[in-house]
Amino acid sequence: MADGLQWEQRPGANLRRPMLVAGFEGWNDAADAASSAAGWLTQNGDATQVATIDPEEHFDFQSRRPQVSLVEGVTRQITWPENRFFTVGFQERDLVVLRGIEPSYRWRSFCRAVTTVAHETECEMVITFGALLADVPHTRAARVTGTATDRDLIDELGLAQSRYEGPTGIVGVLNDYCRAEGVPSVSLWAPVPHYLAAPPNPPATLALLERFSGLAGLDVDLGRLARTATAWREKVDEVAAGDDDVRNYVSTLEERFDAEATADGSVSDKSWGQLPSGDELAREVERFLREQRDES
């Protein structure tokens, strides 16, 4: 059980041109958009769980506590924080999907377990999903950015390279570990409006899956998710329509988003002026949703 990796069944050489796809709850998962994208893949393909990573090796259970639940009203059942690998079959190719939680410690050991699965299942590439809070309007389609292990891969896949520098999470560490191990890897990131940080965010999840399916050559039906994203935007629009500060702030974000002119996806430097805080807007959205529930 090196690095906590536990196989339930080994797929062997039966997978068709597999890719390993990972989405983690936690720091890399604004509004749960990234973990929801990984979850969508397992819920909409032919999924079989093949391996887990022992939580005892990588979690501080005081910060990420196990959950207790009742079974038939009597027996208590403990659910531990898990990182689980699934093989997922689609018409064009197979995926190995890692659905999990950002570990508390021993990150390099954790990454070694992930790349072990990638090697043993003969995956062509590792692709990670991420979502971050950003100054973007909810009225525009999320613009997915990407990073890769090398410049040639960025050019080949037509990625808009991220310019982020600063603290990183398990997604950044895993991609760097893949680079050191010679495993091709790509990280796809969707921006989430910072004033709508509460989950879910269907538009961001949809953007990740659209970009991924194009990259992987998958023909998947995202129609239901697209309709959910449209309904989500319409609900938020109702908030903006009823509050001048929110409406003006969103309009300012739209102007900046639309004025973006650089080819690599970076934004021009522009003064923001005095705008409502994200907390104020979040409270406005929460108030609206609470009133909707009260009226129903």
Nearest by Cα to 35 from 204, 185, 231: 204
- Give the C-alpha separation, 165 to 243, whole Å: 35
Find the angle CA(136)-CA(142)-CA(144) to the nearest 5 degrees: 110
Q: Which of 187-196, 255-264, 277-286 has the lowest mean pLDDT?
A: 277-286
pLDDT of residue 162: 63
Q: What is the CATH number of the domain that holds 168?
A: 3.40.50.10900
Mean pLDDT of the chain: 85
pLDDT of residue 294: 57
pLDDT-derived band of residue 70, with 50, 70 and 90 as boundaries? confident
pLDDT of residue 160: 60
pLDDT of residue 11: 86
- The tens digit of pLDDT for each residue in 124-151 reads 999 999 999 999 999 998 988 888 877 7
- The tens digit of pLDDT for each residue in 187-230 reads 999 999 998 999 999 999 999 999 999 999 999 999 999 999 99
Asked whether the predicted pLDDT for residue 266 surpasses 80, the reply is: no
Cβ pair 31, 196 in contact under 8 A: yes
Q: What residues are paired with 98 via a beta bridge?
A: 22, 85
Question: Is 126 among the domain residues?
Answer: yes
Region 14-33: what's the mean pLDDT?
95
Q: What residues are paired with 107 via a beta bridge?
A: none
Q: Which residues are within 8 A (CB) of 245 and not within 5 positions of it... i.e. 6 or more apart?
A: 276, 280, 281
How many distinct structural domains can be found in the chain? 1
- Give the C-alpha separation, 123 to 182, whole Å: 12
Q: What share of the chain is helix, strand, coil (3-state, %, to 5)?
A: 40, 25, 35
pLDDT of residue 268: 34
pLDDT-derived band of residue 166, with 50, 70 and 90 as boundaries? confident
Q: Read off the tokens for 18.
A: 């597999």
Q: Which of 21-25, 129-133, 136-140, 235-239 has the lowest mean pLDDT?
A: 235-239
Question: Is 235 among the domain residues?
Answer: no
Question: Is 266 among the domain residues?
Answer: no
- Give the C-alpha separation, 23 to 34, whole Å: 5
Question: Is 259 among the domain residues?
Answer: no
Asked whether the predicted pLDDT for residue 95 surpasses 50, the reply is: yes
pTM: 0.85
Residues of the chain with pLDDT > 90, as a percent, come to: 60
Q: Whole domain around residue 76: which residue ranges?
A: 2-220
Asked whether the predicted pLDDT for residue 288 surpasses 50, the reply is: no
- Using only the alpha carbons of the chain, give its radius of gyration: 20
Question: Is 133 among the domain residues?
Answer: yes
Question: Is 230 among the domain residues?
Answer: no
pLDDT of residue 278: 47
pLDDT of residue 232: 94
Q: Read off the tokens for 8.
A: 């339930």
Report CA dihedral (55, 59, 65, 66) to the nearest 10 degrees: 0
Asked whether the predicted pLDDT for residue 99 surpasses 90, the reply is: yes
